[in-house]
Structure 1
């Protein structure tokens, strides 16, 4: 609606006496444009302070409460021992004004038949007003909470609706039932409703991904026994070079028979298909999510909702004399933020290198240990310990990343809270992504490729050898890292996410006085009475309810962000490097089935009620998911082409193996492949790379040569032509894979419209009816 049209509507309403001179609704509007509001009597918000505090804090308390009264907010004060509760209730005129501004806004979505302002809307408006009250000392409510002038602020749970949600949704016995998304949206607002809608849709589409992953795993399980590669490894007599210095000895290739079988479970022809499938799956998931979201936002009448205009409306409702917050941009600030972000990313890369050093030292110490089992498997144990340490690093850095992200966003001075939230989301996700994946990228693409070879090892400080890939292949190391981190992260997160709030609620309950009161009538009925006894009974009833909410765990504007971040990082695990871990979608599916109920129980029963927020999308997370989908194509193409043995096996089958000339038919085409990947190192008087003890087999025999996995000449250890040919084929495959998959992603995105036709038709009908109603009203 244009500015001239809005002014014409305001002029018309002024003539009919519906609005005052300032353009806002009068207290008793009678126009069909704006039906009267029937706002039930209820407390919209609660502030909690400690009684008997020092005079300075009491003075600030009184100043803030008086500032609220100046805005015509009704304050109900109730004391309970050491706590003072302030119940805040906004007058009807505030909601009249909000409804009217929605009516004349571009994003009109208020139904004329909706005569009652929902409590979720009232809470959002009052929360905004409280957050934008500034004292003469330039302090707002957030600053007063930091100074402990107020202990807490929260909106109240509605017992009836809370009980209803618990019965049908927020309990473990309802784990097999669907989600009442409309009820969740009505109670918690559109933002929480869309989170659970997205989580449910993501979990549902994980089912086909998990099924295909299981099929690929079973394919490897069914055919690895008949593979000539397994037979060649398990029956080999080849003596391999020591994997570390000092006490590491030569070993037989057949010692890795079990690991070779595990490696082939995740490195076979099915892996290539699964990587392509998951890249397309990510695109289908996003496109169908946009359709799914469009259907619900259209049904909720928020499809055309505008975030910026909503904030302008709330600004006017909070302060009619407010000035617009102008957009600002500073190249100096942007440059400073970019430099600080770069420094943080360098820190994450440094942490990844620290994990490399840890694994190197752990390998040396384990090899020198007295436990034969650990010393014989020093590399594998060191890799596992590194994965555990990586998980601990992620846990610690999560808190650091959150603090740094908040500081950077505050330094940017965003124009609105929505802009601040978007900026914080991008920074926090970037930091968490690098914390989580920097070590995995090293394991996937650098491990075993920069460590040198016998006679020319790369050493740290000239002493310790860099770690090598697992004897069965580099993909095994990536699989071990992903499995340990994903299982630990999901298990630990769920325990902390549920156990933490439960324990905090129990502890807070022990610290506050337990009151056992019974109300024979509801407070809304008692408030109509005038006797002191009934008024005291009503206050007691209110106090019980307020204490119950006070004992719950606190929430803030970024509480939902934590849930989104956890799931989006899981989505990253499910798509990026999935070629190395086909069972990742299955683990994610199992986790999410419980995650939905865990989040529901936490929000309904363990935490204070979130301030209901209006929105029609999941914000910048959509762009983040799209970026992950593109990165998944690149990463999986590199994993298959660079990390796995798929390309070397393919080259050997058609170029170097027994079937290369096309004449041999009675021999498996991969026969002799393992030996073709090995080079030989000879120990002589001039080369003392290994000691005599290291060159002694477990049977006591001293050998003068050993093999290692690489394509090098046995004399001068230079790279062979076979190495360069395979390397060329690797990069050719990566380019081909990524182009084919990206083209398929674009075709899929084009083929699946983001908005269903019925949604388009409903929106078209709504706009037409609204225009007709405006035309009728203009003739009144």
Structure 2
């Protein structure tokens, strides 16, 4: 491995060297990772532009001035030791929300959905070009397995395909049970955040009491990251056991089934909490006098009046940054530590006499297994999911992914060349089931971003405010996103005194009548427009995805012509042999 280490130091660790030393499977991983990193460049640039667009209107948005200049008294956020507060207290949160919830975000979400399709279609062309050069375009996995069996035993019989509906049903039920447990953990995280916010609001320290909701959100994100690290190991064990129970025909089938199960478990582990923040946080709380409570005691947490996207942004930023930085640090340090331990265990003087130092050095490297490359693919595909699915709430996600991947390529190369034993070279002509997983993630990105903009964002209410109720409409020029003070009975609040006066009225963000708290016509209008936008957004983006997939062929014309010439030569040879016989 010394020659490869020299190439790595010189920055020449390219896919061709991976091909010659590690085989096509590892070479395709680096080919895909390099292509993905290059494709992140335009996404990161446009994400920065969208962020700067929100920053340009940081202090000029009329909705921000409506919040910052308001004197509306809002309802307490908790039941104990929480007093009334002014809407203007959330001025900073409103400005931060404007950075990630503006008109540019909608265009960027549409761009990223189409970008995911272009990335996959262009990757198929890029892959086809290289596997054609490597002469593995027509490689067949089943034929290679049969050849190896014949070499080992000329009288062998192929292992036949089998399918058991009973085993499939049992596996499906067990997978469902695991997913229910993962979703239950997400609910437990919600309860922990609610209890944390309540305890902090009762603190003697003013700082914790004033920022109880934000601190609870940050602590919930960190706790979610810890849960991800623990469940990653549990999910791997469960996925292995389920694959053993299935009794698959070959190792390739086992690897495929394991990949699908492991990605499904990890996806729910990572995104279940994010889906709650995006689509349920602050929408099932009820209203003053009729709050929804956990175990009839604790109120559910609420979003800031400026919207829930700020909470989703905080959750994503903490998880993405921690996952990428800490994982790389621990992976590098762990590999170095294990290598040092093996070298210390095998340190004896015989190696100097027999001059087998380089062989022993390679033997002292860390062990690898057939699923070592799977871990690298899983990490990058989950990052791809983060980059596309909730990009409407976090336009800087492609930039963070790009920065991480620039280091990830070098770290993976260093690990494979200097810290781990050589992987057994294997032939392949594709990244396998990961392509279908990436396509599924692209479809989910369209649905999730449409729902985030239409349901979670305040984009639709702002449009209604601007063009229907706002200054552009001369018939009704006064409308506030925050409803006028709602009358709340004193029995709902006890010992609430502000500036020496008992307060019996407060406001909360909702569309309800003063008299009976019933939903107003404004609520139904905005709800109808929200769903109309989601349907329109998804249909337009899906249509663009299909057009892009149709417009870009999977294989370049040069590759198709080369394969056609190759088939012609082979057919001529076969016909020539037949005529000679």
Tell whether the structures are fold-level matches, with TM greater than 0.5. yes
How many Å apart are 1:225 and its aligned residue?
1.3
The one of 215, 221, 226 equivalent to 1:392 is 226
User: For the Cα contact (< 8 Å) 1:241–1:251, is it kept in 2?
Assistant: yes
Q: Deviations over 1:377-400 (max 9, x none)?
A: 111110111010000000000000
1:630 aligns with 2:443: yes
Distance change >3 Å, CA 552–CA 691, structure 1 → 2: same
How many Å apart are 1:472 and its aligned residue?
2.3
How many Å apart are 1:236 and its aligned residue?
1.0
Structure 1's unaligned 5+ residue stretches are 1-161, 519-536
The one of 493, 505, 510 equivalent to 1:690 is 493
Partner of 1:339: 173
Partner of 1:592: 405
Measured in 2, the distance between the counterparts of 1:451 and 1:399 equals 35
The one of 478, 485, 510 equivalent to 1:710 is 510
Measured in 2, the distance between the counterparts of 1:679 and 1:552 equals 69
Partner of 2:281: 447
Measured in 2, the distance between the counterparts of 1:366 and 1:587 equals 32
User: For the Cα contact (< 8 Å) 2:481–2:509, is it kept in 1?
Assistant: no
Q: How does 1:395-410 map to 2 (within 5 A)?
A: 395-410=229-244
Partner of 1:490: 324
How many Å apart are 1:546 and its aligned residue?
3.7
RMSD (Å) for aligned C-alpha atoms? 1.7
User: For the Cα contact (< 8 Å) 2:461–2:481, is it kept in 1?
Assistant: no
Structure 2's unaligned 5+ residue stretches are none
Distance change >3 Å, CA 578–CA 264, structure 1 → 2: same
How many Å apart are 1:517 and its aligned residue?
4.8
How many Å apart are 1:568 and its aligned residue?
0.2
Q: How does 1:751-770 map to 2 (within 5 A)?
A: 751-770=551-570
1:570 aligns with 2:373: no
How many Å apart are 1:319 and its aligned residue?
2.4
More helix by share: 2
1:558 aligns with 2:361: no
Partner of 2:40: 206
Measured in 1, the distance between the counterparts of 2:518 and 2:180 equals 34
Measured in 2, the distance between the counterparts of 1:483 and 1:268 equals 18
User: For the Cα contact (< 8 Å) 1:459–1:465, is it kept in 2?
Assistant: yes
SS for the counterpart of 1:617 is coil
Partner of 1:677: 482
1:370 aligns with 2:204: yes
TM-score with structure 1 setting the length: 0.72
SS for the counterpart of 2:553 is coil
How many Å apart are 1:419 and its aligned residue?
0.8
Measured in 2, the distance between the counterparts of 1:561 and 1:455 equals 52
Measured in 2, the distance between the counterparts of 1:512 and 1:163 equals 20
TM-score with structure 2 setting the length: 0.97
User: For the Cα contact (< 8 Å) 2:288–2:488, is it kept in 1?
Assistant: no
Measured in 2, the distance between the counterparts of 1:746 and 1:223 equals 35
Measured in 2, the distance between the counterparts of 1:610 and 1:462 equals 56
Of structures 1 and 2, the one with the larger relative CO (CA 8 A, separation 6+) is 2
SS for the counterpart of 1:289 is helix
Measured in 1, the distance between the counterparts of 2:159 and 2:379 equals 33
How many Å apart are 1:293 and its aligned residue?
0.1
User: For the Cα contact (< 8 Å) 2:182–2:269, is it kept in 1?
Assistant: yes
User: For the Cα contact (< 8 Å) 1:454–1:681, is it kept in 2?
Assistant: no
Measured in 2, the distance between the counterparts of 1:736 and 1:640 equals 12
1:725 aligns with 2:525: yes
Larger radius of gyration: 1
SS for the counterpart of 2:507 is strand
Is the deviation greater in 711-720 or in 626-635?
A: 711-720
Measured in 2, the distance between the counterparts of 1:515 and 1:705 equals 85
User: For the Cα contact (< 8 Å) 1:380–1:470, is it kept in 2?
Assistant: no
Is the deviation greater in 597-606 or in 675-684?
A: 675-684
SS for the counterpart of 2:492 is coil
Task: Provide the aligned length of Structure 1 versus Structure 2.
Answer: 580
Measured in 2, the distance between the counterparts of 1:605 and 1:775 equals 51
User: For the Cα contact (< 8 Å) 2:37–2:406, is it kept in 1?
Assistant: yes
User: For the Cα contact (< 8 Å) 1:401–1:428, is it kept in 2?
Assistant: yes
Partner of 1:224: 58
The one of 163, 166, 172 equivalent to 2:2 is 163
User: For the Cα contact (< 8 Å) 2:23–2:427, is it kept in 1?
Assistant: yes
Q: How does 1:226-625 map to 2 (within 5 A)?
A: 226-515=60-349, 517=351, 540-542=354-356, 544-625=357-438
Measured in 2, the distance between the counterparts of 1:676 and 1:635 equals 25
User: For the Cα contact (< 8 Å) 2:351–2:360, is it kept in 1?
Assistant: no
Q: Deviations over 1:447-490 (max 9, x none)?
A: 11111110000111111001111232111111111011100111
How many Å apart are 1:439 and its aligned residue?
0.7
